[in-house]
Structure 1
Amino acid sequence: MQIAFHAQSHKGLVRKLNEDACLALPEAGVWAVADGMGGHAAGDVASQMVMDMLKTLVDSAGKALSPAMLSQALQNANKALVQYSQQQLLGSMAGSTVVVLFIQQDRYHLLWAGDSRCYLLRNNTLQQLSHDHSQVNEMVAQGLLAASEAESHELANVITRAVGVDTELEVAVCADECLPGDLFLLCTDGLTKELPDHEIHQYLQHDDIADASKALLHSTLVAGAKDNVTSILVKLQSISNVNLNDKTIPLNLKNV
């Protein structure tokens, strides 16, 4: 088996700064995206701090890396951001959403906080693996709001969980089996607020994930790209299907 991936980040057409960040550590089976918030470049600092904490942990853990360790790295980032806000921002908040994909042996592990998302395309069916930690998503879950009305609701930008927002961080997790042909999409809400799921599904059907990734970004820019846009595509594929234009790394799903 091989893992192919393509990562990209763009500041969009409205924002002056790119407060998103991404991380690709294929040798360790780790990919992540983060969406910073706080203004005055605090969001930029926040998202990069989360990525740096993850990279430091992965580099030091080596083959002992585990989902619990990745969760602890996010907890460490949370404490560091709370301290940064108190000491450097006079109490103003620097926070970040995050979603982390960890592929280990024949399973994937997902960790997240906020509304950055992970999708899985399997057997031509697109599934959102993460669920948004947002005000409108909670309203939908409680039956107070129709799902079709969520994106246009006045509270659509209010998230209920993120790194650096509270002294305690609850990291959401899920895990399941990996299958050959699985395609994962990690992305910030700059993409999902511009493109509906059915359009994302359409672009992910490209055989070349680099083309699929570029198509996602192009369509987001055409739609107005009011926010920063960051995405990573990660595909499990057989060696015979590897496109040499993609960044690839060998993966033995049984012996990582």
Structure 2
Amino acid sequence: MHLSHALTHRGTVREINEDAYLELPHLGVWVVADGMGGHAAGDVASQLVIDGIQQAVEHLEAETITLEVLKKSLIDSNRILQQMSEHDFDGKVAGTTVVVLWLYQDKYHLLWVGDSRIYLMRDQQMKQMTKDHSQVNDMIDEGLLSPEEAETHPLANVITRAVGVDTQLDIDYRTDKVKDGDVFLLCSDGLNKELNDIEIERTIKSGNIIDSGLALLHASLVRNARDNVTCILVKNSHKNINIIDDSDKTIPIFSHI
């Protein structure tokens, strides 16, 4: 059984929301796409990727979805966006990041391009499962920056991969066994720009997926959410779960100190 809760907000600065998401728990598929700010039609690009995956899987049974179906959808969207850039946007790039979570039987599958992220909370410990395709992450790998320095680096917003940018789409992929009680967080970088991993982990630990999702969004808005913010929380469970939490747990809300 898969429970999920998705939220998106344009933030307090941006005029439009260039994020888009897909939530198909009955098929075990969730997607977040973040249109590239400062480029042409980022909102069009992110929605096109979302629509492409939905159209690719919505007529299928869960057992007939494959990794190749998901990859082909992203490759097709990449080609369409390149054509749109040439013919509809005067050569300006229309691009988007994307993260995909696919749960089937006892496995999870992650696909991603760009710097949107997927985290996994397992046994009360959270880990980032995707690796940002970004300029600062490359610099961290080369030993030129520490993770802490990367957060405030001038190139922090520069990504090295996106759907719609290059003729060849390089998609990263990861798979492993999923456990009962695992909680996945898919998010655009508007969330992790405002909250660090410790704060995100603490919030997810503090409540059910609905309360935690609302708290994450609220905390980012309290900090003036400079970018669009989207998050999807997905819980894998073999039990019948009451997602309305009657406990007295307090969800931490973060603000400037």
TM range (shorter): over 0.9
Q: CA RMSD in A?
A: 1.3
Give the whole-Å Cα distance in 2 for the aligned partners of 1:207 and 1:218. 14
Confirm whether residue 76 of structure 1 aligns to residue 111 of structure 2: no
Matches within 5 A, 1:177-188: 177-188=177-188
Q: Is the CA contact (8 Å cut-off) linking 1:11 and 1:17 kept in structure 2?
A: yes
Q: Which has the higher contact order (CA 8 A, sep 6+)?
A: 1
Counterpart residue identity of residue 102, structure 1: W
- 1:31 maps to 30
Equivalent-residue separation in structure 1 for 2:118 and 2:52 (angstroms)? 20
Give the Cα separation in 1 of the matches to 2:182 and 2:141. 28
Residue type of the partner of 1:221? L
Deviations 1:194-232 (A, max 9, x none): 100000001001332100000000100011100000000
Structure 1 residue aligned with 2:109 = 109
Letter of the 1:151 counterpart: E
Contact 2:39/2:94 (CA < 8 Å) preserved in 1? Answer: no
Aligned to 1:202: 202
> Aligned in 2, Cα 1:154/1:39: closer, same or farther, shift over 3 Å?
closer
Aligned positions of 1:137-216 closer than 5 A:
137-216=137-216
1:16-95 alignment runs, 5 A limit: 16-37=15-36, 39=38, 42-62=41-61, 63-95=63-95
Distance in structure 2 (CA, Å) of the matches to 1:214 and 1:67: 31
Instruction: Give the count of matched residue pairs.
Output: 244
Shift of 1:146: 1.1
Q: Percent of aligned positions with the same letter in both sequences? A: 51
Per the TM alignment, residue 76 of structure 1 is displaced from its structure 2 partner at its CA by 0.5
Gaps of 5+ in 2: 246-257
Give the deviation of 1:37 after TM superposition: 1.6
**Unaligned residue ranges in structure 1 (runs of 5+):** 246-256
Q: Secondary structure at the match of 1:200?
A: helix
TM-score computed with the length of structure 1 as normaliser: 0.92
Give the Å deviation of 1:40.
7.2
Displacement, 1:239? 2.6
Q: How far apart, CA to CA, are the structure 2 residues paired with 1:212 and 1:100?
A: 20
1:98-118 Cα deviation digits (max 9, x unpaired): 000000110000000000000
Which has the larger displacement, 51-60 or 40-49? Answer: 40-49
On the 8 A contact 1:38/1:92 being kept in 2, the answer is: no
